[in-house]
Amino acid sequence: MTNKAKVGVLALGRNTFDVPYAQEMLAQAWQALSGMEIELVGEPMLQFDAASALQALPALKQADLDLLLILQVTFTDASLTTEVARDFPVPTALWSFPEARTGGRLRLNSFCGVNLACHALSREAIKVQTLHGLPSDSRVINELQQLAQAAAIVKRFKQAKVMVIGEHPLGFDACNYNQQQLKQHFGVEVTRQPVLEFIDEVKALPDSVADAPYARRAKDFPNLAEMDQCATRKTLKVYSALREKAQREGYTGIAVRCWPDFFTDYGCAACGALALMNEDKVPCGCEADMFGVLSSLMAQWASGNAAFNTDLVDIDPQDNSVVFWHCGQAPIEMADRDGPVQATIHSNRKLPLLSEFALKPGRITLCRITQGEGKLRLMLAGGEMIKAPLAFSGTAGTARLDVDADTYRQRLIAAGMEHHTSLVYGEHRPLLRKVADLLGLDVIELT
């Protein structure tokens, strides 16, 4: 993620414990927090009573935080923590500190305070995150960094607006969704538009809106002039309409019914337009797949890279490899530049514009917010994209996953997974697990 997560800090203690040592521990924690890739809000001040702590809360609430971090510097009773966590509008984490086993006085008793608070919160079905370790413990700092990033992703979902153009195709139950559930669970706002109405908007645009994206694609694809120019420019008009709609109305992603309507009612493929939007980091899922768009947003926000909403189309148990493919939507940053990178036509409908290239080698993360088995969960998997010739026309990559290919196939089917999976480069599962935890999603690990 490019923006730093905003973390508010409230430090709690009791003056019946070793106050100088507590102050020292707070100073160390504040120094560690100041060195993290976060925007820190609050003061390095121990709050010894409820009145002073409650006075610090309004400023934290007004700061538009991603995460509230309560430093349980010494033991306290659970009343204040419960009151704060009960109505604070963002996820809350409690950090407790170990101390030396000297045989003498228990100077902080920090963890016991967290234990007491978490029990009280559990009785109100309030879940918080916990960390335990010294400020010098890199494990704790890394975990807190990921937690802050995860909280920022959760907030971005609550601010997201996603559009659905058209209905998902008949029999594609994997692409349906419950709009009320999306709002309640993720906070995502959804608007809809009939696909033919959108196509009419595209038709009404001047042909000149295709000029800039045509020049952009001409730099990428040496064979662009060989494509049917009328159909190619129609695809680029579709892109211009999607981009303008996203910019004007603030959409973070758009799910589009791509077939058959763009072929039959406009005479072009939508794939090339969706590819350009993916490159612009406004994920556009085909087949009106709303959860495909949300999955790509999650993967994109976690990685900082563009995502590819893809199908698993081939499994080779002997070679222990699989192929991820979609017509021609992968962002061009995923292209293997050692092979052809070019324009092509849709393999079935024979119309442009699509991207065509093999995916580059490298570590990959797969994720999908799934409705399999009738409940919302997050599927995660990892593997390596390997250097291989283009397996099928369009954009495709050959991968070896972290389990053997046929085991992956069996797990995918057994979990009731959808046919679409979001793919990004890099290893991002630890962060995505924390996002799932904050969203209340069980995680399915396929590898």
Q: Are 169 and 175 in contact (CB under 8 A)?
A: yes
What pLDDT score does 1 carry? 45
Beta carbons within 8 Å of 245's beta carbon, 6+ residues apart: 163, 251, 254
DSSP letter for each residue of 10-66? EEE--TTS-HHHHHHHHHHHHHHHHTSSEEEES-S-EE-SHHHHHHHHHHHHTT--S
Residues 44, 160: Cα–Cα separation, whole Å: 33
Determine the Cα–Cα distance for residues 221 and 183; give it in Å rounded to an integer. 40
Task: Kindly give the pairing relationship between strand 308-316 and strand 46-47.
Answer: unpaired
Instruction: Give the phi and the psi of residue 124 in degrees, each rounded to 5.
Output: -110, 15
Non-local CB neighbours of 101 within 8 Å, separated by 6+ positions: none
Residue 275 CA to chain centroid, in angstroms?
18
Please give the chain's pLDDT, 447 residues, in tens. Answer: 457 999 999 999 999 999 999 999 999 999 999 999 999 999 999 999 888 888 989 999 999 999 999 999 999 999 999 999 998 999 999 999 999 999 999 999 999 999 999 999 999 999 999 999 999 999 999 999 999 999 999 999 999 999 999 998 888 887 888 888 888 889 999 999 999 999 999 999 999 999 999 999 999 999 999 999 999 999 999 999 999 999 999 999 999 999 899 999 999 999 999 999 999 999 998 999 999 999 999 999 999 999 999 999 999 999 999 999 999 999 999 999 999 999 999 989 999 999 999 999 999 999 999 999 999 999 999 999 999 999 999 999 999 999 999 999 999 999 999 999 999 999 999 999 999 999 999 999 999
8 A C-beta contact, residue 422 and residue 435: no
184 contacts: CB under 8 Å, gap ≥ 6: none
- Delineate the domains of the chain, giving CATH numbers in brackets: 5-158 (3.40.50.10940), 160-445 (3.20.14)
Predicted pLDDT at 53 = 87
Burial 104-134 (b: 16+ CB within 10 A, else e): eeebbbbbebbbbbbebbeeeebebbbbbbe
Predicted confidence at residue 174, as pLDDT, reads 77
